[in-house]
Amino acid sequence: MKNLICQKCPNGCNLALEWENAENVFIAGNKCASGIVYAARVISKDNKTRIHAREETPLFSRETLKAVAGLWQVRLKKLHHNIPVQGSPERSVFRVVLEDNSGKFFLLEQILPKSLEHKRQIATTLDFLAKNNLARIQPYMADQKGEFIRKHKNNFWQIIPFVRGVTLDREKYMYEKWRAPALADFLVELRRKSGYLPFLDSCKVFSLKDYVYKLIREINLYNKDIKDEIKDIAFFLEKDFMPAYEKLPVAFCHGDYHPMNIIWSADDIKCVIDWEFSGFKSELYDAANLIGCVGVEDPQSLTGELVNSFIANMNKAGFISKTSWKYMVEFIVALRFAWLSEWLRRKDSEMIYLEMDYMRLLIDNKNSLQKIWL
């Protein structure tokens, strides 16, 4: 028996690995299938070792999961602990793919009690948008009383039909032009279909500006080694962008729109997932996050066909004001503070310095990027 801490997300599950023989290992303690992928990477250097999840996990028995699925009239036939699930594992306490008696697949997730209200709001929003005919989303399932979240023995659960996708090739995708219209169409449709969301308070607007300043204050206190570099970046933002920030139009945004939060088919978007940060934000938010995330994979792609065609499609739709477009580079830089915060939280020095290099690259190339994009 060997124990391993999974480092794929902050949950840090304690993985127990038990060798049946040289090629077969059983895993326990993982709260999601990403733990299996992580363990395979660590122990299976020759790619010959197979890692298997047991039907019974120490976390929840089959009987428990069967009872939970039954709350939505889903009749459990088989648990698929080995099927990896896209989207950040830290959004739930535990998640597993299951198959029902008719061969349909579902994703069952246990959620933290403290996130109940937030999760309910996300489920209500997705349900509303789906009823408003927004395509490429998958709403959570409601039980017979219309509840999206159910309690079972002190634990809270939600369930959603499981969508399988084609794995994104992270070496190539950022140059694939065909993805651009789909990425732009989704944002345009989201804007059209989210103009009226009666259950959300449109006065509650996330301020990226406040977020950046708060993080800078924390960096000045706890990360003194990078505070000078951050001061330079803040200086760039303070020239024009920060004073203009409040004037930028606001819209309902996905909040974490990037290609890894999308389940892709071979030629289109199947489903946009992970709505954890959705809400009212500056209208540039999703477009800027997308471009920033594509560019961080390979900065050359910032002027590649995917990004250029995405911007052209967004421009054609005319949903983003000229004023907002003017601040695209600054907005991407400001948004990278959210990613920097994540690397600081994980104490990942390599990513912290990579992120700051990326911000610097965006700042240094602002004029040429603007010329190409606008």
Q: Which positions touch ligand SF4 (CB under 6 A)?
A: 6, 8-9, 11-13, 30-32, 34-35, 38, 89
Q: Are 331 and 209 in contact (CB under 8 A)?
A: no
Residue among 14 and 323 whose Cβ is closer to ligand SF4? 14
Residue 88 Cβ, how far from ligand SF4 at the closest point, in Å?
9
Residue 112 Cβ, how far from ligand SF4 at the closest point, in Å?
12
Residue among 37 and 363 whose Cβ is closer to ligand SF4? 37
Residue 66 Cβ, how far from ligand SF4 at the closest point, in Å?
22
Closest CA to 109 of 156, 73, 75: 156
Enumerate the β-bridge partners of residue 158.
109
Q: What are the backbone angles phi and psi of residue 188, rounded to the nearest 5°?
A: -65, -45
Neighbours of 83 (CB within 10 A): 17
Question: Residue 319 has which token pair?
Answer: 């949903």
Strand, coil or helix: 288: helix
Residue among 32 and 284 whose Cβ is closer to ligand SF4? 32
Closest CA to 333 of 224, 215, 246: 215
Residue among 32 and 332 whose Cβ is closer to ligand SF4? 32
Residue 162 Cβ, how far from ligand SF4 at the closest point, in Å?
16
Strand, coil or helix: 140: coil
Question: Residue 202 has which token pair?
Answer: 């449109």
Residue 98 Cβ, how far from ligand SF4 at the closest point, in Å?
17
Residue among 274 and 330 whose Cβ is closer to ligand SF4? 274
Report CA Rg, the chain: 22
Residue 57 Cβ, how far from ligand SF4 at the closest point, in Å?
11
Q: Are 365 and 300 in contact (CB under 8 A)?
A: no
Residue among 28 and 183 whose Cβ is closer to ligand SF4? 28
Residue 8 Cβ, how far from ligand SF4 at the closest point, in Å?
4
The rounded distance, in Å, linking the Cα atoms of 155 and 125 is 23
Residue nearest to ligand SF4 (CB): 35
67, containing H or E segment: helix 62-70
DSSP 142: P
Residue among 89 and 279 whose Cβ is closer to ligand SF4? 89
